[in-house]
Chains A and B, each alone.
Chain A
Amino acid sequence: SQQGEEDPQALSIQEGENATMNCSYKTSINNLQWYRQNSGRGLVHLILIRSNEREKHSGRLRVTLDTSKKSSSLLITASRAADTASYFCATDFEGAQKLVFGQGTRLTINP
């Protein structure tokens, strides 16, 4: 399957701690994106990282991409209750011409 696999499936941390989620894939990609989904709502785009990039930042978010290991990670620093959501990686596999979403990581921030 070309689908990215996310790890862990669920993560529960205390407010103020950092949260790290990982996404692994099996074939070459053009780009990889991260999205957030609040319960039962639409997805919101967080960051896009291209295959020739290694790291990108956006506010409290940091995304890394290691194409040699075929993996990406999303770090959320100083977590807040409002960060509680599901986080998905979406990969643009070479030749696929579509975005393929992983199963997601369900993040819970405890006050």
Chain B
Amino acid sequence: KAGVTQTPRYLIKTRGQQVTLSCSPISGHRSVSWYQQTPGQGLQFLFEYFSETQRNKGNFPGRFSGRQFSNSRSEMNVSTLELGDSALYLCASSLSIANTGELFFGEGSRLTVL
């Protein structure tokens, strides 16, 4: 069974640009959660999508958005990038709603903003 796949793995952007990250969950998993990981703030919850609906959202500005498609694949978008958006963005999938069971994480997308 294939694991969670995140693309791209690494990317470099400049301030003001926008970026789209993709996450393909494990087959059959309906929930996709996104986390931002930085050395200073640790793992911060961005949002969770379940059956194409945003179920929960963390305390991030509106520049951070996401969506989930009918095949459960998810994308997150960050517009007007700032230096502080440099981070490892992790996607996790689960069979049911995220907080009730095991999360399966992808390897992450490492974003560097110059």
A and B part of one assembly: yes
Are B42 and A43 in touch, CB under 8 angstroms?
no
Are A42 and B102 in touch, CB under 8 angstroms?
no
Q: Does B99 contact A (CB under 8 A)?
A: yes
A31 to chain B, nearest CB (A): 7
Q: With contacts A44-B105, A101-B35 known, what are 13 further pairs, Cβ within 8 A?
A: A3-B42, A30-B100, A42-B105, A45-B103, A88-B43, A97-B97, A99-B33, A99-B98, A99-B99, A99-B103, A100-B45, A101-B43, A102-B42
Q: Which residues of B contact A (CB under 8 A)?
A: 4, 33, 35, 42-43, 45, 48, 55-56, 58, 88, 90, 92, 97-108, 110
List 28 A-B residue pairs with CB atoms under 8 Å apart, sorted by A's residue number: A3-B42, A30-B99, A33-B102, A33-B103, A40-B108, A40-B110, A41-B107, A41-B108, A42-B90, A42-B106, A42-B107, A42-B108, A44-B105, A45-B102, A45-B103, A48-B101, A90-B103, A92-B100, A96-B99, A97-B55, A97-B97, A97-B99, A98-B45, A98-B99, A99-B45, A99-B98, A99-B99, A102-B42
